Structure 1
Amino acid sequence: MKLAIMQPYLFPYLGYFQLIRAVDAFVVYDDVNYIKGGWINRNFILGPRGKQLITLQLQGASPNKLINTILIGGRNTKLLRTIKQTYCKAPYFTEVYPVIEKILNHREINLSRFLVYQLLTICDYLNIQPNWYISSSLKKNSVLRGEDKVLAICAELGATHYINLPGGQSLYKKDAFASRQIQLSFIEPRVYAYRQFGDEFISGLSMVDVMMFNDKTQCRALLQEYELV
């Protein structure tokens, strides 16, 4: 069974959804510390001068708090308006904007549950359907940290193949997984340019950008543009 474990991010980039597509089961890692300046509550969209940062406002967010204990800091009206103004002339705005609107109008104020709802909603649009788990609901040893905690989750769910994004190469060692009869791989997204508003392709943006400029068939093709190493 192929498994991935990732913190929930706001409108993650294409590689995050490639990872979800590549596995049989996906664990939302919600009982780890919030990372200030990371991607849990912010991401990039296409702005008039290139990458434009968007941020989900939070209440009292701190690296000393777990993701699932943090609350959203208010309505998302401004964020929704920014996305609408940015992409209103994109070719698939009519299909995609209601998905984004549904997410940002969701009344959940717990950050973790809100982001899970967001991921499920986008995956439903993209027709990605792994088995979903929430880390805080699993019966693991919560004293464990880092690689040991990931290995414990793999053992609980019966994973035979653990797949992570490229950033995990400095965190996880193949020998440690092999000793538990688990294959360890890292997903390497291929850089694939698609038509945006201008002539120059701006990479590394949120999945929102991918969806606004590609129909569902094109999105499914892009979701397969990776290799495992």
Structure 2
Amino acid sequence: MVVSIHQPNYIPWLGLYYKIAHSDVFVYLDDAQYSNIGDHNVNKIKTPQGEFKLKIPVEQHLGDLILNVRTKDELNWKDKHLKTIAMNYSKTPYFDKFYPDLYRIIINHNGSISELNMNIDRLIIEGFGFDTEIIKSSDLDIHTSKEERVIDICVKLGASEYLSGNGARAYESDEHFLNRGIKLTYTDYMPIEYKQIWPRVGFLPYMSAIDYIFNCGFDWEYVEKEVKKLNYGNR
């Protein structure tokens, strides 16, 4: 059984959904400490001027867990984000099919940044048709940290393989995982090219996944095909 883990981020890039698609179980690390340099409340979309960051204001104190960080809805960020998204994507092929559901989730949100992010992810995961089981780490009652915590989660879930992001290569040890009966592997996702709006700007590869969905719909077969081509050519 393949397990992957990631903190709940705001409208994340396609690479995260690729990792989810290649996992039997995906765990939201929602009880990790909130980081001001992470993507818990920010991500990028494409505009006629280039990339633009959408950032949600949050009420956060040092040491807060992600699940306890509240979005500051009184600052009217919902209307601003939704209007910005609509202004830049209303002419895309799949705007009318995706925007109403995204609008509903954002406008009706009331609570933590973690819940907002997971609700948006749920919409996207269902759209792509993944059958991955989704779990929250806060439901697992595991209190270790860093690599040890990842391994403990995998063991508790009965994982035979842990699918990691490439950014963790610097601090993860194959031996530590193997000692607990788990194979450590890394995602082979590479940013793919697809048809984007605003071609004059050029292709921007690290946008939120909503950029792909507005332009290409929930065509996951194309994602898999293009990643395979980047990794292995036409073999």
TM-score between both structures, scaled by the size of structure 2? 0.90
Structure 1 contact 106–114 (Cα < 8 Å) conserved: no
Change in Cα spacing, 1:15 to 1:216, as seen in structure 2 (3 Å) is same
| Root mean square deviation, CA, Å | 1.6
Structure 1 contact 187–226 (Cα < 8 Å) conserved: no
Structure 1 contact 18–224 (Cα < 8 Å) conserved: no
**Separation (CA, whole Å) in 1 of partners of 2:85 and 2:205:** 17
- Displacement of 1:223: 4.5
- Displacement of 1:90: 1.1
For 2:123, the equivalent position in structure 1 comes to: 121
Structure 2 contact 191–206 (Cα < 8 Å) conserved: no
User: 2:195 aligns to what SS in structure 1?
Assistant: coil
**Separation (CA, whole Å) in 2 of partners of 1:45 and 1:133:** 28
Structure 1 unpaired stretches of 5+: none
**Separation (CA, whole Å) in 2 of partners of 1:135 and 1:99:** 26
For 2:223, the equivalent position in structure 1 comes to: 222
Structure 2 unpaired stretches of 5+: none
- Displacement of 1:9: 0.5
Instruction: Tell me, yes or no, if structure 1 residue 91 matches structure 2 residue 90.
Output: no
Change in Cα spacing, 1:215 to 1:115, as seen in structure 2 (3 Å) is closer
User: 1:162 aligns to what SS in structure 2?
Assistant: strand
**Separation (CA, whole Å) in 2 of partners of 1:222 and 1:86:** 23
Structure 1 contact 70–111 (Cα < 8 Å) conserved: yes
For 2:58, the equivalent position in structure 1 comes to: 58
**Separation (CA, whole Å) in 2 of partners of 1:133 and 1:192:** 28
**Separation (CA, whole Å) in 2 of partners of 1:34 and 1:223:** 32
**Separation (CA, whole Å) in 2 of partners of 1:47 and 1:9:** 21
For 1:181, the equivalent position in structure 2 comes to: 181
For 1:103, the equivalent position in structure 2 comes to: 105
For 1:198, the equivalent position in structure 2 comes to: 199
Structure 1 contact 103–118 (Cα < 8 Å) conserved: yes
1:140-166 deviations in Å (ceiling 9; x for gaps): 2x1x11001111101110000000111
1:97-144 deviations in Å (ceiling 9; x for gaps): 12321221233312222221111111111111211111011032x1x1
Instruction: Tell me, yes or no, if structure 1 residue 72 matches structure 2 residue 71.
Output: yes
Change in Cα spacing, 1:194 to 1:72, as seen in structure 2 (3 Å) is same
TM-score between both structures, scaled by the size of structure 1? 0.92
**Separation (CA, whole Å) in 2 of partners of 1:183 and 1:224:** 25
**Separation (CA, whole Å) in 2 of partners of 1:224 and 1:172:** 29
Structure 2 contact 43–53 (Cα < 8 Å) conserved: yes
Structure 1 contact 14–223 (Cα < 8 Å) conserved: no
Which one is further off, 105-114 or 201-210? 105-114
Among all aligned residue pairs of Structure 1 and Structure 2, give the percentage whose two residues are the same amino acid: 26
- Displacement of 1:226: 4.1
**Separation (CA, whole Å) in 2 of partners of 1:166 and 1:93:** 32
Residue correspondence of structure 1 range 151-190 to structure 2 within 5 A: 151-190=151-190
**Separation (CA, whole Å) in 2 of partners of 1:186 and 1:106:** 36
Greater helix proportion: 2
Which one is further off, 204-213 or 171-180? 171-180
**Separation (CA, whole Å) in 2 of partners of 1:165 and 1:130:** 17
Structure 2 contact 26–132 (Cα < 8 Å) conserved: yes
